[in-house]
Amino acid sequence: MNFLNVSKVHHTYFSKEAATEALQDINLSINKGEFVSFIGPSGCGKTTLLSIIAGLFQPTLGTVKIEGQDVFENDDLSIGYMLQQDYLFPWKTIEENITLGLKLLKKENHSIASKLLKDVGLPPVEKKYPRELSGGMRQRVALARTLAVNPKILLLDEPFSALDYQSKLKLEDLVSEMLKEYNKTAILVTHDLGEAIAMSDRIFLFSPRPGRLYKTFEVPEEIRNLTPFEARGHSSYSSLFQLIWKELESLEQ
Amino acid sequence: MNNNKLHQQFIASLVKEKRWVRFYQLLILIAFFSLWEIASSNRWIDPLIFSSPSKVYTLFIDNIADGTLFTHISYTLFETVLGFIIGTLLGTILAAILWWSPFLSKVLDPYLVILNAMPKVALGPILIVAMGPGMGSIITMGAIISVIISTIVIYTSFKNVDANYLKVLQTFNATRLQMFKEAILPASFPTIISTLKVNVGLSWVGVIVGEFLVSSKGLGYLIIYGFQVFNFNLVLMSLLIIAVFATIMYQLVELLEKKLIKNE
């Protein structure tokens, strides 16, 4: 039994000028505890697919099921969604930001904030406001906010792309380590091919206009067991990089 | 030279600058009133129309002594503050309703434009006939003048809240009410405060015009009465009092701003 099942998903955006087909016949499944990445040129619908999996909107056709339950019909299914920017609420303290999800789900628990801050490698900054923290720290807080509700699945929509390189590498290691520790399933959407290889177990390559699942790559066992930082230095890393790179190039022509 | 000393110097220069700003502000004030007094007593301007600070002051003291001024001020102040609060509150509520129902907002859009463009004080006579020549119609006037523009400005701010904040809330299965409470409203506080600032001025206009039309009490009444009996001392005194209280109200709004917006 697969953890996540996407079957026959089509999605079309309608506007006054045109109907744009964003996704065409997407079928994929992900196992529990697996880390997968969606990559592909812009316009390949990877963010659209992520939003559909998150239950933010319904696809034109098809179904998405997590543990056999439809993501739209189930209200207490918790999904963790991390965006490109942290989107911490500037008028809330760090603690209020982290416990926001719990507050909305009426499961308030204040002690969790300090524990999560420690887990994501931050000093006790509960009473501070987001503007007092650096970009990397804020994205860590956003990760803590996402984990606070104990989500079944984590959806990462280019969460590292707005960070400087050093923070990005550190945060990749942190996220990868935490997901393994909590045995969470995660989907990462990224433009960064290296990041996808270093972090994932499997990589889904999408082709654009309309978005279709073009190819799936298995990341070799020896890289999977390394931290993302170490993986980047491994010899199989560059050969996989070359392989996917060529596929990407051919798609863009 | 060490950093500490440089910092001290920097602070000293700031203090010095502030002192000079205050000095010139005071200078303008004194110059204005002195020039006014001198021009009036030397008949460079007609003292019958433009009065003079000393005459206004004498009148002020007299009116305080006989207790009438206090009644007039409290009357007008009460109407203005109430009109101001009702106007802003109603504007915010209307904006919330429009945000709640995008369909309704599309339907009402042209009507809001018309209502906003129309000079609200022109409604004065109708209000007075409909509601009676009392405090009620004057307060309504103070509120009506600011409510539509508040609605439009605040609604625009509600609409412009970054959709990604809502996305975050949506992944936590937030209801629309929760989205409003957690994101839309707090994100719009800066806009609401700046409408408050505009509304301070507008409410005074509404109330004074209302009193022009109907009242037998209040500063607006004093102005119109002073005009009718050709007592311009009274007109100018009322004007100066209005200026002082409008400024105080504005300062209070700024105080509220500091309390409410902690994150900037």
Q: Answer whether A149 touches B (CB < 8 Å).
A: yes
What pLDDT is attached to residue B243? Answer: 92
Domain that holds residue A119: 83-151
The H or E element spanning position A186 is strand A185-189
* A100-120: average pLDDT: 79
The pLDDT tens digits of the residues spanning A200-252 come to 888 888 888 888 888 888 887 777 777 888 888 878 788 888 888 888 888 77
- Residues B225, B255, single domain; the answer is yes
φ and ψ at residue A202, rounded to 5 degrees: -140, 150
Are residue B72 and residue B36 in the same domain, yes or no? no
Over residues B121-172, the pLDDT tens digits come to: 888 888 888 888 888 889 999 899 999 999 999 999 999 999 889 988 888 8
User: Could you tell me if B101 and B7 lie in one domain?
Assistant: no
* B167 and B87 in a common domain: yes
CA distances, B107 to each of A178, B56, B112, B184 (Å): 50, 53, 10, 22
Does residue A162 belong to the interface with chain B, where contact is any CB pair within 8 Å? Answer: no
- Domain CATH code at residue A68: 3.40.50.300
Residue B259 touches chain A, beta carbons under 8 Å: no
Query: Are both A56 and A163 inside the same structural domain?
Result: yes
Q: Do A149 and B172 touch (CB under 8 A)?
A: yes
The b-or-e profile of B169-200 (16+ CB within 10 A means b, else e) is bbbbbbeeebbbebbbbbbbbebbbebbeebb
Same domain, B245 and B137: yes
B178 close to A (CB below 8 A): yes
* Shortest distance, CA A56 to any CA of chain B (angstroms): 7
Coil, helix or strand at residue A203: strand
What average pLDDT does the segment A128-157 reach? 86
Domain residues for the domain of B173 are 54-260
Mark which of A151, A170, A201 sits at the end of a domain: A151
* Separation between Cα atoms, residue A177 and residue A181, nearest integer Å: 6
- Domain shared by A186 and A126, yes or no: no
Residues of B in contact with A87 (CB under 8 A): 162, 164-165, 167-168
Subunit contact A81:B168, Cβ cutoff 8 A? yes
Of the residues A103, A136, A151, the one at which a domain ends? A151
- Predicted local confidence at residue B79, as pLDDT: 92
Residue A75: per-residue pLDDT? 63
Q: Does B182 touch chain A (CB under 8 A)?
A: yes
Q: Cα–Cα distance between A177 and A188 in angstroms, integer?
A: 15
Residues of A in contact with B186 (CB under 8 A): 89, 91
Statement: residue A1 has pLDDT above 70: no
* Contact yes or no for B182 and A100 at CB 8 A: yes
How far apart are the C-alpha atoms of B94 and A182, rounded to whole Å?
Answer: 46
Interface contact B5, partner A, CB < 8 A: no
Determine the average pLDDT of the residues in A125-138: 84
Residue A77 is predicted with a pLDDT of 61
Q: In terms of CA atoms, which chain A residue is nearest residue B178? A: A104
> Same domain, yes or no, for A175 and A227?
yes
Segment A132-148 mean pLDDT: 86
The reply to whether A123 and A179 lie within a common domain is: no
Same domain, A100 and A210: no
**Residue A21's beta-bridge partner residues?**
A12
At B263 the three-state DSSP class reads coil
Interface of A with B in 24-63 (CB under 8 A): 54, 56
Hey, are the CB atoms on A87 and B164 less than 8 Å from each other?
yes
Distance (Å, rounded) from C-alpha A205 to C-alpha A221? Answer: 19
Which residue in the block uniquely carries the two structure tokens 């009507």? B111
Q: Are residues B183 and B75 in the same domain?
A: yes
Q: Which of B45, B62, B78 is the last residue of a domain?
A: B45
Out of A99, A130, A151, a domain closes at: A151
Per-residue model confidence (pLDDT) at position A91: 87
Residues B110 and B220 in one domain: yes
Q: Which two tokens stand for residue A3?
A: 């953890």
Based on the fold, state whether residues A62 and A11 are members of the same structural domain.
yes
Does A226 lie in the same domain as A172? yes
Mean per-residue pLDDT, A87-109: 83
Check residue A172 and give its pLDDT: 86
Q: Which two tokens stand for residue B203?
A: 């409410």
Q: Which residues, in sequence order, are bridge partners of residue A6?
A: A28, A64
The mean of the pLDDT values for chain A is 83
Do A143 and A221 fall into the same domain?
no
Residue B111 maps to which CATH number?
1.10.3720.10
Q: Do B187 and A85 touch (CB under 8 A)?
A: no
In what helix (H) or strand (E) does residue A199 lie, and over which residues does it extend?
helix A193-199
Tell me the shortest Cα–Cα distance from B260 to chain A, in angstroms. 9
Residue A20 reports pLDDT greater than 90: no
Confidence bin at A74 (pLDDT 50/70/90): low
How many domains does chain B contain in total? 2
Compute the average pLDDT of residues A155-181.
84
B156 & B184 share domain = yes
User: What pLDDT does A236 receive?
Assistant: 79
Q: Are residues B146 and B250 in the same domain?
A: yes
Closest residue in B to A79 (Cα–Cα): B171
pLDDT band (50, 70, 90) for residue A101: confident
Which chain A residue lies closest to B165 (C-alpha atoms)? A87
Q: Which of B162, B167, B262 sits opposite A56 (nearest CB)?
A: B167
Note whether ipTM > 0.85 here. no
Q: Confidence class of residue A57 from pLDDT cuts 50, 70 and 90? A: confident
Shared-domain flag, residues B38 and B66: no
- What is the count of structural domains for chain A? 2
B19 with B80, same domain: the answer is no
By three-state DSSP, how is residue A205 classified? strand
pLDDT, block means (10 residues), chain B with 264 residues: 84 92 95 93 87 90 88 91 92 94 93 89 86 87 90 93 88 86 90 90 90 85 90 90 92 88 61
The verdict on B29 and B82 lying in the same domain is no
Bigger pLDDT: A19 vs B246: B246
